[in-house]
Amino acid sequence: MNLTLKVWRQKNANSSGKMVTYKAESISPDMSFLEMLDVVNESLTLKGDEPIHFDHDCREGICGMCSLYINGRPHGPKSAITTCQLHMRSFHDGETITIEPWRAGAFPVIKDLAVDRSAFDRIQQAGGYVSVNTGGVPDANIIPIPKVIADEAFNSATCIGCGACVAACKNASAMLFVSAKVSQLGMLPQGQPERWSRVQAMVAQMDAEGFGSCTNTGACEAECPKGITLINISRMNNDFFSAKLFREEKVHDHSGGSE
Amino acid sequence: MSLDAKIPQGPLAEKWSKHKFNLKLVNPANKRKYDVIVVGTGLAGASAAASLAELGYNVKAFCFQDSPRRAHSIAAQGGINAAKNYQNDGDSVYRLFYDTIKGGDYRAREGNVYRLAEVSVNIIDQCVAQGVPFAREYGGLLDNRSFGGSQVSRTFYARGQTGQQLLLGAYSALNRQIHKGKVKMYTRSEMLDVVTVDGQAKGIITRNLVTGEIDTHTGHAVLLCTGGYGNVFYLSTNAIGSNVTAAWRAHKRGAFFANPCYTQIHPTCIPVTGDHQSKLTLMSESLRNDGRVWAPKTVETAEKLRKKEITAAQVAENDRDYFLERKYPSFGNLVPRDVASRNAKEMVDDGRGVGGSGFAVFLDFADAINRLGQEAVAAKYGNLFDMYYQITDEDPYKQPMRIYPAVHYTMGGLWVDYNLSTNVPGLYALGECNFSDHGANRLGASALMQGLADGYFVIPYTLGDYLASIGPKPVDANHPAFAKTKQDVVDRINSLLALKGTKTVNEYHRDLGHIMWEYCGMARTEEGLTKAKGLIQALRADFWKNALIVGAGDEVNASLERAGRVADFLELGELLVDDALMRKESCGGHFRLESQTEEGEALRNDDVFAFVGAWQYKGDNQPEELHKETLDFEFVHLTQRSYK
Ligand SMILES: Cc1cc2nc3c(=O)[nH]c(=O)nc-3n(C[C@H](O)[C@H](O)[C@H](O)COP(=O)(O)OP(=O)(O)OC[C@H]3O[C@@H](n4cnc5c(N)ncnc54)[C@H](O)[C@@H]3O)c2cc1C
Ligand code: SF4
Ligand code: FES
């Protein structure tokens, strides 16, 4: 198949970008979307031009590194998959495809289609853990956990940190991402001791990073490649308000102070 | 130079406890005077960095992705082994040890493997305490599944995303230490060299992948946790960025590279469809718990299937050859990977392969779906089935998967002693990056176990011994070795950027992959390997003349990053072939056609080859020197492996 691509090109964070048009020729429908871009990049390289830069690594939908806003949708037209899992058979011959980076104030562009998502890491660093050191922990089977709870915690834990939820949201809110971790640990017995401080610390960091607020539009859920649901956001809101209203625990240095 | 593995004396079960007692300790107040560099934040690196920081050391950690959570460990699917014996099916530390030694075809150290089995039980406890949501049974306790090469159920799992959940656990422990300021994390940073001062590792040189800056970092010790080198084959199940650069540059600074020819070809991957393909996708070994592997009995039936005249479902039960069940009745579909892969290749060579290209066999779930129902099958393997469907456009609930072997894992790596130290003092290697525990073939679900064992439970003890011996004096960043090594890195980048030929780096990589797969893949011969050596040398020479690298050094430049990695693969590829040529026996994943039993199984030669082959770098384009570490087997009796 032959396609026309309109691609966002931007040299670095400090320069302004623009859309540039390319032809993608002799593309096989069995190629993945990223393999199609590889083909375009090979031909750009051979002409001595700079290839289109995009983030990717595992190419099987699990590392969360790939991004791309394709024809106005994060991770492209199909639901429940990442860009690297999208195949060209989902497009038709002759189609024009627009490819842009994630757009959000908290995700500045690094180059072309790659953005800086380190804000996500900083939110996790603020409290996305159970404070246990290596060693000295009890036997794994000491605490039975009902299967339904374990399964539900697992569902929340499958978030790959890709940022599509932020890119999809008109407010660039990170609620879905943050709530996935808050929910996972909030549901498990291991997460109880720090449940109230964790949610406050993570939400505070989320706000500090400049993500927008949630207006319950649900675009995040619709575009999330891993099926993280809005229930996570409700759980987080519950915990957050419980923590604020009823628990007098302040947001202490969540990690347990300095060594 | 002599290779001392430093395995403690005494009975197997006491070696590690005794050793721990004998190791020197760093007192708590002194720990914060030491800086430790951890390169790589996959399972091995993240667990090591977090654990060392918890002890009080100052850690600097590095990864080339934009976040530690994206290390290739995230992609591990099937599970992690541990000798918990929760199933009461006869498992024990000794059995896990024995299965691993045997699975590795008697080419691993007894002492190391026993320790691995011993600490495996602590790993599961640790991960559960972190909130890793492993699969559970209705009673609320942990569930297990079976993996190849064993007859007990000791594999813990989190649906088909075990690596993800374990890595996110280690990442959370790492995050806690970053938050506390005990770990300084450098993302989008690639290590390009190790700095040695008076023969000891004292730092690294990195390139900032956003700005292109070349930076120097000092440390009292350097831990390489940089993963495997499977991408030397171009197509593999590894992530695109997985590379050998860190290990290879360390090798060129004196660290020995052990058993490079021990590479694992995984039997169940989605077959190649065309030249455009950039990677191969694994279908987890856990699928062999319920999936049955078969090929048509006759070439005629296979022919009809290939031409799509009939479908798999139309092949009568009688016309199917469940070849693993037929040949290996006691292990059936759960034979180790090397055995399963070779048998699939045999079917294809026999003309009985299926799929458009004929390079595939079936993995069939029809029985399991009938027996357990579609829902139960989906609960166990749903994400894998979805992944298969995405890639092939075929629904595995309705028709069998087509699978074929693909490069997956590398047992070889930097040589380390029992303390995980390379032969360069202060330079350590953990996880897939080292060669230590899997011999000539790794059992499924044992890499995650080894990475976390190294990081959580071995290095926190063994590193202290070395640090105590050198003392906490700060490392002098002004030592000329730092400036010199940095200049070497800059020069090399400049020589890559100067290449303005006509062939892209990707094409070189693909060509190298073709050579490796053709002559150094599932079946190796003296003749083929010799040919491959010449081809690789020629390709490497051509690369340094005719490669085309665009862009500049002081900006984001994927073309340059790729070029550096491929240049290293072009050197490693030759060493891999040399090692395969040297090892004139078959063992595990290394199959020399000249050395097989009458039934076509790998035939070892223990009299001559019961050693670890550790190679020493001798200068550009010079033959490397082989050092042998003899493998002594005190506790297990060496036999021809049998899974019948
Ligand atoms: C598809 C797949 C499925 C698998 N499934 C299983 C399974 O079910 N069970 C099992 O036991 N094993 C499995 N394995 C094997 C297992 O996942 C790996 O062996 C293991 O995760 C490797 O962990 P690691 O920490 O050693 O390295 P990795 O996780 O590969 O981490 C390497 C780290 O090093 C960094 N790095 C590399 N080079 C540099 C450099 N030059 N500079 C800076 N940083 C660098 C990377 O950024 C990364 O952080 C699977 C492997 C694959 C490919
Ligand atoms: S919640 Fe979904 S869309 Fe958001 S980061 Fe996680 S996986 Fe991506
Ligand atoms: S490249 Fe890893 S999720 Fe797409």
Residues 17-56 of A with CB under 8 A from B: 28, 30-32, 34-35, 38-39, 42, 45-46, 48-51, 53, 55-56
Would you say B214 and B207 are in contact if contact means Cβ atoms under 8 Å apart?
Answer: yes
Ligand 3 center to B169 CA (angstroms): 19
Residue B231 vs residues B228, B280, B513, B588, B594: alpha-carbon distances, Å: 8, 11, 8, 20, 27
A87 touches chain B (CB under 8 A): yes
> Over the stretch B554-600, which tens digit does the pLDDT of each residue have?
999 999 999 999 999 999 999 999 999 999 999 999 999 999 998 88
DSSP letter at B317? G
Ligand 1 center to A61 CA (angstroms): 16
A109 touches chain B (CB under 8 A): no
- For a ligand 3 pocket test, name from A63, A78, A158 the mutation site with the most ligand atoms within 8 angstroms of its C-beta: A63
Pairing state of beta strands A18-24 and A73-74?
A: unpaired
B552 touches chain A (CB under 8 A): no
If you search the block for the tokens 């030249």, which residue do you land on?
B275
pLDDT range class, residue B467, cuts 50, 70, 90 = very high
Mean confidence (pLDDT) of chain A: 94
Say yes or no for a CB contact (<8 Å) between A153 and B502.
Answer: no
Ligand nearest to the CA of A158: 2
Residue B372 vs residues A207, B283, B424: alpha-carbon distances, Å: 47, 20, 54
* A165 within ligand 2 shell (Cβ under 6 A): yes
Model-level pTM? Answer: 0.97
Question: Measured between alpha carbons, how far is B417 from B395 in angstroms, rounded to an integer?
Answer: 47
> Over the stretch B283-298, which tens digit does the pLDDT of each residue have?
988 899 899 999 999 9
Give me the pLDDT at residue A258, please.
Answer: 40
Q: Which residues pair with B183 in a beta bridge?
A: B59
Say yes or no for a CB contact (<8 Å) between A89 and B393.
Answer: yes
Per DSSP (E only), the strands in B10-156 are 35-39, 58-62, 80-81, 155-156
Structural domains of chain A sorted by starting position, each given as residue range(s) with its CATH number in brackets:
3-110 (3.10.20.30), 117-245 (1.10.1060.10)
Residue B150 has pLDDT above 90, yes or no: no
pLDDT range class, residue B1, cuts 50, 70, 90 = low
Pairing state of beta strands B361-364 and B221-224?
A: unpaired
* B230 within ligand 1 shell (Cβ under 6 A): no
Residue B254 vs residues B201, B247, B248, B487, B540: alpha-carbon distances, Å: 10, 11, 10, 18, 22
Question: Measured between alpha carbons, how far is B160 from B156 in angstroms, rounded to an integer?
Answer: 11
> Over the stretch B220-233, which tens digit does the pLDDT of each residue have?
999 999 999 999 99
- Percent of chain A exceeding pLDDT 70 equals 95
Pairing state of beta strands B214-218 and B200-208?
A: antiparallel
Say yes or no for a CB contact (<8 Å) between A62 and B551.
Answer: no
Q: What is the 3-state secondary structure (H, E, C) of B547-578?
A: EECCCCCCCCCHHHHHHHHHHHHHHHHHHHHH
Per DSSP (E only), the strands in chain A are 3-9, 18-24, 69-70, 73-74, 96-100, 109-111, 114-115
The CA distance from A127 to the nearest CA of chain B, in Å, is 7
Residue A251 has pLDDT above 90, yes or no: no
Say yes or no for a CB contact (<8 Å) between B240 and A57.
Answer: yes
Residue A68 has pLDDT above 90, yes or no: yes
> Over the stretch A103-161, which tens digit does the pLDDT of each residue have?
999 999 999 999 999 999 999 999 999 999 999 999 999 999 999 999 999 999 999 99
pLDDT range class, residue A256, cuts 50, 70, 90 = very low
Mean confidence (pLDDT) of chain B: 96
Stretch A35-59: mean pLDDT, rounded? 97
A124 touches chain B (CB under 8 A): yes
Give the one of B74, B134, B176 whose C-beta lies nearest to A63's C-beta: B74
Would you say A129 and A219 are in contact if contact means Cβ atoms under 8 Å apart?
Answer: no
Give me the pLDDT at residue A252, please.
Answer: 52
Stretch A91-114: mean pLDDT, rounded? 97
Ligand nearest to the CA of B249: 1
> Over the stretch B160-193, which tens digit does the pLDDT of each residue have?
899 999 999 999 999 999 999 999 999 999 999 9
Residue B95 has pLDDT above 90, yes or no: yes
Residue B196's identity, in one-letter code, is T
ipTM: 0.96
Residue B79 has pLDDT above 90, yes or no: yes
> Over the stretch B455-464, which tens digit does the pLDDT of each residue have?
999 999 999 9
Residue ranges, comma separated, of all CATH 1.20.58.100 domains in chain B are 486-609
Give me the pLDDT at residue A246, please.
Answer: 65
Residue A63 has pLDDT above 90, yes or no: yes
Residues in A closer than 8 angstroms to B79, CB to CB, are none
Would you say B194 and B254 are in contact if contact means Cβ atoms under 8 Å apart?
Answer: no
Ligand 1 center to B78 CA (angstroms): 14
Phi (first) and psi of residue B593, to 5 degrees: -55, -30
Q: What is the edge-to-edge ordering of all strands in the sheet holding B35-39?
A: B183-186, B58-62, B35-39, B221-224, B427-429
Stretch B529-536: mean pLDDT, rounded? 98
Which residues make Cβ contacts (< 8 Å) with residue B529, sequence separation at least 6?
Answer: B519, B520, B577, B580, B581
Residues in A closer than 8 angstroms to B456, CB to CB, are 134-135
Chain A residue with CA closest to B555: the answer is: A12
Ligand nearest to the CA of A120: 2
Q: Which tokens is B554 given?
A: 């002081």
Pairing state of beta strands B361-364 and B401-410?
A: antiparallel
Chain B residue with CA closest to A182: the answer is: B131
Pairing state of beta strands B200-208 and B189-197?
A: antiparallel
Phi (first) and psi of residue B609, to 5 degrees: -115, 15
Residue A60 has pLDDT above 60, yes or no: yes
Residues 187-216 of B with CB under 8 A from A: 187, 210
Residues 200-229 of A with CB under 8 A from B: none
Residues in A closer than 8 angstroms to B559, CB to CB, are 45, 50-51
Residue ranges, comma separated, of all CATH 3.90.700.10 domains in chain B are 267-406
Would you say B147 and B20 are in contact if contact means Cβ atoms under 8 Å apart?
Answer: no
Give me the pLDDT at residue A247, please.
Answer: 66
Ligand 2 center to A65 CA (angstroms): 11
pLDDT range class, residue B275, cuts 50, 70, 90 = confident
Ligand 3 center to B134 CA (angstroms): 23
DSSP B222-278: EEE-----GGGGSSSSS-TT--SHHHHHHHHTT--EE-TT-EEEEEEEPPP--TT--
Say yes or no for a CB contact (<8 Å) between A188 and B133.
Answer: yes
> Over the stretch B301-350, which tens digit does the pLDDT of each residue have?
999 999 999 999 999 999 999 999 999 999 999 998 888 999 999 999 99
Chain A residue with CA closest to B56: the answer is: A259
Q: What is the 3-state secondary structure (H, E, C) of B324-385?
A: HHHHCCCCHHHCCHHHHHHHHHHHHHCCCCCCCCCCCEEEECHHHHHHHCHHHHHHHHHHHH
pLDDT range class, residue B601, cuts 50, 70, 90 = confident
Chain A residue with CA closest to B169: the answer is: A129
Q: Classify each residue of B441-465 as buried b or exposed e, where b means 16 or more C-beta atoms within 10 Å of its C-beta.
A: bbbbbbbbbbbbbbbbbbbbbbbbb
* A164 within ligand 2 shell (Cβ under 6 A): yes
Residue B269's identity, in one-letter code, is C
* The domain defined by B267-406 carries CATH number 3.90.700.10: yes
B18 touches chain A (CB under 8 A): no
Question: B468: buried, middle or exposed (CB in 10 Å: 19+, 13-18, 0-12)?
Answer: middle
Give me the pLDDT at residue A244, please.
Answer: 80
Say yes or no for a CB contact (<8 Å) between B65 and A30.
Answer: no
Say yes or no for a CB contact (<8 Å) between A134 and B173.
Answer: yes
Residues in A closer than 8 angstroms to B172, CB to CB, are 124, 128-130
Ligand nearest to the CA of A157: 2
Stretch A186-196: mean pLDDT, rounded? 96
Ligand 3 center to B62 CA (angstroms): 20
pLDDT range class, residue B641, cuts 50, 70, 90 = confident
Give the CATH number of domain B486-609.
Answer: 1.20.58.100
Give me the pLDDT at residue B78, please.
Answer: 87
